[in-house]
Structure 1
Amino acid sequence: MTTDTGKPTLTVDELAARAGVTVRTVRFYSTRGLLPPPVIGPRRVGHYGREHLARLELIEELQHQGMTLAAIERYLRQLPPDLSPHDLAIHRAVVASWAPDTVETADRRELEERTGRPLTEEDVERLAAMGVVQPDGDGYRFDAGLLRLGVRLLDVPLSQESILAARNVLVEHARVAAHELAELFRGEVSERDTEDVRSLSAHMHPIVVQALLTTFQRSLKEELSGWGAPSQAGGSSS
């Protein structure tokens, strides 16, 4: 398990189990440089943390989207080097949003296993309000690509109304950006055959996702950087 401070405490077996992959897969990604090296503890045992898990989940999502290993390596090399586990989780959620619906069904126990934490009734209601999970008979239907991000939002000190308002803002502007980009590229594919169109689409998805997300993160960081600055209201005294 990991500590609240993010100190690496997962063994390679625990990391693989959390991510739903094999130990061999973890070691393979590590040898290719896709995962940072573990922290070596007593008895030369490697320990992994939340960054390793988030990066591993992003790699698996990119592979699920059909990207080759070489394409995944290029994608990861272009990411800012200081991305936090939370930033990596957002990248994964956005990448997953390009995929066909990944809706799954689970009972309460299975849902908590997927989130890695117990869920109160209020938690489930908030996830439902965010559109991440929906009651379905005796169980729940949930968007696998957004579940982990939705659970992280449960700990954000914002009201449910603010979270939903933020979601509406993001959805509205994302649709506008998607429409304008589609119109921009329409002329490029109008005279190409179906296979060329599919190839262009497959290559453009991860590139556009990364460009939008990186630009948004930088813009948001600039906006938030001024929050702690002292107010200039009222001017200075002479």
Structure 2
Amino acid sequence: MTTDAEDRTEPGGPELTIDELAARAGVTVRTVRFYGSKGLLPPPEIGPRRVGRYGPGHVARLALIEELQHQGMTLAAIERYLRQLPPDLTPDDLAIHRAVVASWAPEAVETVSRHELERRAGRPLGEEDVERLAAMNVIGPVDGGTFRMDAGLLRLGVQLLDVPLSQETILAARKVLVEHSRAAAHELSRLFLGEVAERDTRDVRSLSAHMHPLVVQALLTTFQRSLREELSEWVSGSRTA
């Protein structure tokens, strides 16, 4: 959970009203207030005219809560999960936690109307937005003005709509991620299969159950640190230039 002080130091800090926060997260204002009353969300920063303002930390935390609920966790279980998190997590750290949780979700492809698509996205979607989501394979047109929607990718796709990168760059990045993740999965599977080739089937299943979460966490952590190092070097080089 990020603190209000941390939110104030972030670009575009606590500047959302509760209505804007709810719309951004794709939930109702009543849900936001309910989470706040349960201590699942930190209190807003009180601005002029006593209006509460919410920041990136609230958005990221709401996304994590919604993902945990999507995975079938009860409110009590979510409270326990959030209490175990370090108190100084940034919005990026919370996004990593959500990515780990979401990695266990089965593929959830649904057919939805344009209205339902926008409700799930938490924002109106122009024709260009729809085209970009379709190009990222988040949605696809279906007869009758409906859309095939990958619920697991929708939030990520909507967030990418606001990233100042060209569609070509985003698609190229997706291709790199898919190719390298498949290569890593193939090599890791080959290593593990070699280790358990002569073992009983029950041992193989047990190893798979134990290794799956460990490998996902290791890959995310390693990639996060590697990307941070690459970006730091790039920023340092840009400043020097």
Q: What TM-score comes out, normalization by structure 1 length?
A: 0.70
- Partner of 2:219 in structure 1? 212
RCO comparison, higher one (Cα < 8 Å, 6+): 2
| Residue of structure 1 aligned with 2:177, choices 170, 176, 192 | 170
Distance of 2:161 and 2:112 partners within structure 1: 19
4+ runs deviating over 6 angstroms: 42-47
Distance of 2:127 and 2:121 partners within structure 1: 14
- Partner of 2:157 in structure 1? 150
**Deviation at residue 60 of structure 1 after TM alignment:** 4.2
Cα displacement string for residues 65-114 of structure 1 (whole angstroms, at most 9, x for unaligned residues): 467949x7399637x944325x5345534642443211122111211111
Distance of 2:183 and 2:216 partners within structure 1: 14
| Residue of structure 2 aligned with 1:77, choices 82, 85, 110 | 85
- Matched AA of 2:130: V
* Map 1:1-40 → 2, pairs under 5 A: 5-7=12-14, 9-10=17-18, 14=22, 18-19=26-27, 26=35, 30=39, 35=40, 37-39=42-44
* Map 1:1-238 → 2, pairs under 5 A: 5-7=12-14, 9-10=17-18, 14=22, 18-19=26-27, 26=35, 30=39, 35=40, 37-39=42-44, 41=46, 48-62=54-68, 64-65=70-71, 69=77, 73=81, 77=85, 81-84=88-91, 88-89=94-95, 91-93=97-99, 95-137=101-143, 138-186=145-193, 187-188=195-196, 191-192=199-200, 194=202, 200-229=207-236
Look up the SS of the partner of 1:134 in the other structure: strand
Distance of 1:52 and 1:200 partners within structure 2: 37
Identity in percent: 62
Distance of 1:125 and 1:207 partners within structure 2: 36
**Deviation at residue 191 of structure 1 after TM alignment:** 3.2
- Matched AA of 1:152: Q
Distance 1:5 1:225, change over 3 A: same
- Matched AA of 1:37: P
Distance of 1:74 and 1:207 partners within structure 2: 20
Distance of 1:215 and 1:228 partners within structure 2: 20
Count residues in correspondence. 221
Distance of 1:216 and 1:154 partners within structure 2: 23
Distance 1:207 1:25, change over 3 A: farther
Moved more, 124-133 or 209-218: 209-218
**Deviation at residue 164 of structure 1 after TM alignment:** 0.8
Distance of 1:65 and 1:191 partners within structure 2: 32
Distance of 2:54 and 2:33 partners within structure 1: 15
- Matched AA of 1:10: I
Distance of 1:61 and 1:218 partners within structure 2: 24
